[in-house]
Amino acid sequence: MVQTIFIFLIVIIIFSFSTQINPFSGIIHGFQYGFSGLGTGVKSTYNYIFESRADLQEKLDYYQNLTGTLAHDEVYVKELEQNLTELQSLISYQESIEYTTLPARIISRSISGNQAVLIDKGKNAGVRLGLAVVIENGNIIGTVTEVYNNSAVVLLIHDSESKVPGAILGSTKTIGLIEGQDGYLLAMNYIPQSEKLFLGDVVATSGLDGSVPSGLIIGLVSSIIADESAPFQQALIEPIYDPGDFTNVLILDPFQND
């Protein structure tokens, strides 16, 4: 028995050294293969995660840019629609009057701290001081107060420096002076006490100022202030339109006929 065991051990030793094979090499190789496979799997997962994140970020950037472009396009389309509406209305009004009109665009607002706008037509286009500027349906928004070669300043009727002769539309007697108050409402001053006013009356230019034609709509009577001890009464006028909502205007020249 002892002899058999001894022979078995000798065989193992000889086999190990003669073949140069480690009896544990298979086990170690198995572990090495396992760890190698695990490392490869982790690396692949890592690369996939970060490649996917980069891809998602790229797509996110694309759709954010697309959203911004679409939003810009929507604003642009709305602006075009508004311009089209304004121009159609101005053309319709232009065809209903006989004197010369000059189309212009508002390119800047609030000039020199006043309630004024800058338009893109000036002396080279025939613009002169005092001419009326209107929006759709002949609603006056102001008069030209400064003229340059290719632009002009329009003082809005809301400004306290603005003074335009006015009258109740359809009446040749009820007249007054429309003055701005640096706010939304206008004041119609110097109305004789004998004249009857009613809320909702339409107020228009009287034409007493030679540079401004008669019949240009200013607004509606919203309040009447009567003092029996004073020689005149006053009315507050609410403009029908806000000039801040418009870009396209017409300059009216009553001294030149088409």
Tell me the C-alpha distance between 215 and 45, whole Å.
79
Give the per-residue pLDDT at 205: 95
Give the per-residue pLDDT at 111: 59
Specify the pairing of strand 163-168 against strand 152-156: unpaired
> For residue 250, which of 117, 105, 147, 40 has the smallest C-alpha distance?
105
Q: Which residue has better confidence, 57 or 25?
A: 57
pLDDT band at 83 (very low <50, low <70, confident <90, very high): confident
pLDDT band at 52 (very low <50, low <70, confident <90, very high): low
What average pLDDT does the segment 64-83 reach? 69
Give the per-residue pLDDT at 162: 95
Give the per-residue pLDDT at 112: 57
Specify the pairing of strand 132-135 against strand 248-257: antiparallel
HEC per residue, the chain: CHHHHHHHHHHHHHHHHHHCCCCCHHHHHHHHHHHHHHHHHHHHHHHHHHHHHHHHHHHHHHHHHHHHHHHHHHHHHHHHHHHHHHHHHHHHHHCCCCEEEEEEEEEEECHHHCCEEEECCCHHHCCCCCCEEEEHHHEEEEEEEEECCCCEEEEECCCCCCEEEEEECCCCCCEEEEEECCCCCEEEEEEECCCCCCCCCEEEECCCCCCCCCCCEEEEEEEEECCCCCCEEEEEEEECCCHHHCCEEEEEEEEEEC
pTM summary value: 0.70
pLDDT above 80: residue 209: yes
What average pLDDT does the segment 110-125 reach? 85
Q: Which residue has better confidence, 68 or 51?
A: 68
Give the per-residue pLDDT at 16: 47
pLDDT above 60: residue 47: no
Give 44's contacts (C-beta < 8 A, 6+ positions apart): none
Q: Which residue has better confidence, 69 or 151?
A: 151
> For residue 152, which of 99, 211, 106 has the smallest C-alpha distance?
106
Q: Which residue has better confidence, 123 or 73?
A: 123
Give the per-residue pLDDT at 253: 92
Share of the chain above pLDDT 90, in %: 41
Give 160's contacts (C-beta < 8 A, 6+ positions apart): 179, 180, 181, 182
pLDDT band at 89 (very low <50, low <70, confident <90, very high): confident
The partner residues of 219 in beta bridges, in order of sequence, read: 203, 239
Q: Which residue has better confidence, 77 or 215?
A: 215
pLDDT band at 53 (very low <50, low <70, confident <90, very high): low
Give the per-residue pLDDT at 171: 77
